[in-house]
Amino acid sequence: GCSGNYHRNQIMRVATEPTFPPFEFQGKDGELAGFSIDLMKAIATAAHFQVEFQSLPFDGIIPALQAKTVDGAISSMTITPERSKTVAFSRPYFKAGLAIAVRRDNQNITNFQSLQNHKIAVQIGTTGAKKAETVRGAEVRSFDSAPLALQELQNGNADAVINDAPVTLYAINTGNLQGIKVIQQLLTEEFYGIATAKNSLDLPLINQGLSTILENGKYQQIYQKWFKS
């Protein structure tokens, strides 16, 4: 890893949970792809280090950072006060938020309040899962990935999914997820950060690279590629 003294072209081990298109997913060739993957590669180029991605379950990422089996994580991870107790975050790199998804013919679930006493599918360990646990009388079903939670909704085994809006919307807009709509009003405003262990010496390097690509247009180019085509 990059702990200790920095050397140009040192390898940073970066965890990701690649079932979250368009941010991080496995392309048809099996290679990691997505906004976050391109972003992390650009950060590394800008700050002169190398990245080696490691796929992990989402709820395994923070433990891996703490155990230092990885040096960083880019996985659409929302910066929260709770997570900030155990890991450190880069400056925010993306603004997102949670949305409720329901089947297109659903007329009763129209906002957060109307989720009461319904079955809600979520991805384990996420901010969406936390939010679902605050709904009175709800039965919360946890899945290893957002696509699995959305599939449960599509199958009629859940009434709603609480997930990051850009991911659910991307699935709908690409035609990968049919018969599902998103409730207009977002539940939260959340910011993604790249996570490291506390006091990591990699973090200043990541922030430096991130600032460089925000200033030189590279961030915008990657954003256009994934969100404006």
Shortest Å distance, C-beta 217 to ligand GLN: 26
The minimum distance between CB 7 and ligand GLN, in angstroms, equals 31
CA separation for the pair 141, 132 (Å, rounded): 9
Kindly list the distances between the CA atom of residue 161 and the CA atoms of 20, 92, 151, in Å, as whole numbers in the listed order.
Answer: 14, 25, 10
**Which residue's CB is nearer to ligand GLN, number 47 or number 72?**
72
CB-nearer residue toward ligand GLN: 182 or 201? 182
Residue 163 sits at φ, ψ, to 5 deg, of -150, 165
Q: In degrees to the nearest 10, what's the CA dihedral of 163, 135, 92, 204?
A: -110
User: Which tokens sit at 136?
Assistant: 């009175």
Give 75 or 200: the residue with its C-beta nearer to ligand GLN.
75
- Cis, bond preceding 22 (omega within 30 deg of 0): yes
Supply the minimum distance, in Å, between the C-beta of residue 96 and ligand GLN: 6
C-beta closer to ligand GLN: residue 46 or 96:
96
Nearest residue (CB) to ligand GLN, 1 versus 193 = 193
Cα distance between residue 120 and residue 191, in whole Å: 23
Shortest distance (Å) from residue 61 CB to ligand GLN: 9
Residues lying near ligand GLN in the complex (CB under 6 A): 17, 20, 58, 75-78, 123, 126-127, 146, 164, 190
Per DSSP, the residues of 206-219 read: HHHHHHHHHHSSHH
Q: How far is the CB of 32 from ligand GLN (least distance, A)?
A: 14
Give the end-to-end CA distance of the chain in Å, rounded to a whole number.
36
